[in-house]
A and B are shown apart, each in its own frame.
Chain A
């Protein structure tokens, strides 16, 4: 059996052949009837005291990081799990409820949609990515104003600042209160996030910080990578998705925001006949 190092030089069908029935992994495995291992640790005896989110953080990062787990749990609760079925990912789950689909299908569709652009996962990782780039630029002496202007010029927006529907983010105060209870509210990245807001709110853009900037800055202060934060946050929305699904499922079928025919504003072309 070839080791991973030996397969590195192979390409094409030879590479695939080397991997046939041969998955070598340090990630983990189940030994049927006996035990289970995750990243070199016995789950029943070495990881059994972890909280659920600590286990997920360890699975994703390979490091035990109870503080990160606490932050993800706390911020997921306070900022990404709103039980309002008008929010788009939650509405998907509610529609699955009113149409009497299953809970797992509702949840997975809701999670999949949470990888959105105007809210959800993309702004969360976008904000972390921006802060990491910003701190690098700042260390070379570039001003906050220049950093922000360059970002706006390249991307027309700044992840973590501004918000659809409302400019005020009511999540920030409770999030900061929570972060102070676990001493995660005075890191350098969090200060940088506020510095950027200070510039932006006084500028002609008038953007205020949104929760994604707080969340990202807190993660950055723990040295979490963009990838690690992405994967550990994929579950951040389920606390809002599930209740919205259940609520619609528990009401008469088909009654969640029904749409009458005249709710379609058609801009279609005039009526015509198909010619074969």
Chain B
């Protein structure tokens, strides 16, 4: 058995959080501070959820415009709708009576990917870091996307990140979100994206997608690619949650099964079982 008094106890080092213990229980916090702010004694009642999320990531309060931009993005992303891959994942958990946690795990796992998911946002953020608002750089990277030489658990990107390979023209909501977010602070990144959208879409041979607007917005707000990736995962969960709950109540027989939608092209046919 370890003697705690003799051996230094390992600690979790964090610049996000500080706690003070309750006098009667070293395992319960009497006070919790986030980036120096007393969470339950000061922030509660004063701070909005979106400001708190900003504070957790940035460790400093947002300006009004920054909070409005993040809030606008959060509203835009909160429910991708029941046709979105990640929300469909959650609903499949719902209809089968799976755990509620598995619904969100499904949404996260699917919404993590290169097509419309958080990894796409991560890669698009890297493009922003590399190209900024230089059109020539963008055209170059679209035409010659970086390729990973070493094997990775992530599949290679199969399209320009931030653009929808299966799209036609830029969908109205994508343009509405971009317009709204640009109007808040006229940030250089978003103003440039608005002006160059059609040129970029021409070179990418596909329209701008939500993931592209999210990446540009989070880049404009000074987030790092890995922060953008994880925020994108987080912000899209409310829709997955409610659609999963709704389908759970309706049941599997009122949810598409694609009963006639599968054709087996390599079929040995019925095999006689001698037993």
Residue positions of A touching B, CB distance < 8 A: 1, 11-13, 15-16, 21-26, 28-29, 34-35, 37, 39-42, 44-46, 101-102, 104-105, 108-109, 112, 115, 121-122, 125-126, 128-130, 155, 226, 230, 258-276
B192 at the interface (CB under 8 A from A): no
Beta-carbon contact of A37 and B101 below 8 Å: no
Beta-carbon contact of A105 and B38 below 8 Å: no
A40's nearest neighbour on chain B, judged by CB, is B266
Query: For A44, what are the chain B residues with a Cβ–Cβ distance below 8 Å?
Result: 271, 273
B43 at the interface (CB under 8 A from A): yes
Beta-carbon contact of B17 and A28 below 8 Å: no
**B 5-26 contacts with A by CB, 8 A:** 9-21, 26
Beta-carbon contact of A125 and B153 below 8 Å: yes
Beta-carbon contact of A230 and B153 below 8 Å: yes
Beta-carbon contact of A25 and B263 below 8 Å: yes
Query: For A23, what are the chain B residues with a Cβ–Cβ distance below 8 Å?
Result: 258, 261-263
Minimum CB–CB distance for B192 against chain A, Å:
26
B1 at the interface (CB under 8 A from A): no
Minimum CB–CB distance for A40 against chain B, Å:
4
Q: A122-B152, A273-B38, A274-B46 are in contact. List 17 more A-B contacts (CB 8 A).
A: A16-B166, A26-B264, A45-B273, A101-B101, A230-B153, A261-B21, A263-B9, A264-B19, A265-B12, A265-B13, A266-B13, A266-B17, A266-B18, A268-B14, A268-B34, A271-B36, A274-B37
B109 at the interface (CB under 8 A from A): yes
Interface size on B, residues (CB 8 A): 55
Query: For B11, what are the chain A residues with a Cβ–Cβ distance below 8 Å?
Result: 263-265
**B 48-65 contacts with A by CB, 8 A:** 59, 61
B225-266 vs A, Cβ < 8 Å mask (1 yes, 0 no):
000000000000000000000000000000000101111111
Minimum CB–CB distance for B148 against chain A, Å:
10
A26 CA / B14 CA spacing, docked (Å): 51
A29's nearest neighbour on chain B, judged by CB, is B264
Beta-carbon contact of A46 and B271 below 8 Å: yes
A41's nearest neighbour on chain B, judged by CB, is B268
A105's nearest neighbour on chain B, judged by CB, is B101
B126 at the interface (CB under 8 A from A): no
Query: For A262, what are the chain B residues with a Cβ–Cβ distance below 8 Å?
Result: 9, 21, 26
Minimum CB–CB distance for A259 against chain B, Å:
7
Query: For B59, what are the chain A residues with a Cβ–Cβ distance below 8 Å?
Result: 268-269
Query: For B262, what are the chain A residues with a Cβ–Cβ distance below 8 Å?
Result: 23-25, 29
A275 CA / B64 CA spacing, docked (Å): 12
A-B contact pairs, 13 of them (CB 8 A): A1-B263, A12-B167, A23-B263, A28-B264, A29-B262, A37-B266, A126-B151, A264-B11, A265-B12, A268-B16, A270-B36, A272-B37, A276-B46
A155 CA / B149 CA spacing, docked (Å): 11
Query: For A104, what are the chain B residues with a Cβ–Cβ distance below 8 Å?
Result: 99, 102
A37 CA / B264 CA spacing, docked (Å): 9
Known: A21-B260, A41-B268, A268-B14. A261 touches B29 (CB 8 A): yes
A82 CA / B102 CA spacing, docked (Å): 26
**B 146-190 contacts with A by CB, 8 A:** 150-153, 166-168
Query: For A270, what are the chain B residues with a Cβ–Cβ distance below 8 Å?
Result: 36
Query: For B152, what are the chain A residues with a Cβ–Cβ distance below 8 Å?
Result: 122, 125
Beta-carbon contact of A129 and B266 below 8 Å: no
Beta-carbon contact of B150 and A155 below 8 Å: yes
Minimum CB–CB distance for B117 against chain A, Å:
15
B47 at the interface (CB under 8 A from A): yes
A38's nearest neighbour on chain B, judged by CB, is B266
Known: A35-B270, A261-B28. A25 touches B166 (CB 8 A): no
B136 at the interface (CB under 8 A from A): no
A74 CA / B270 CA spacing, docked (Å): 35
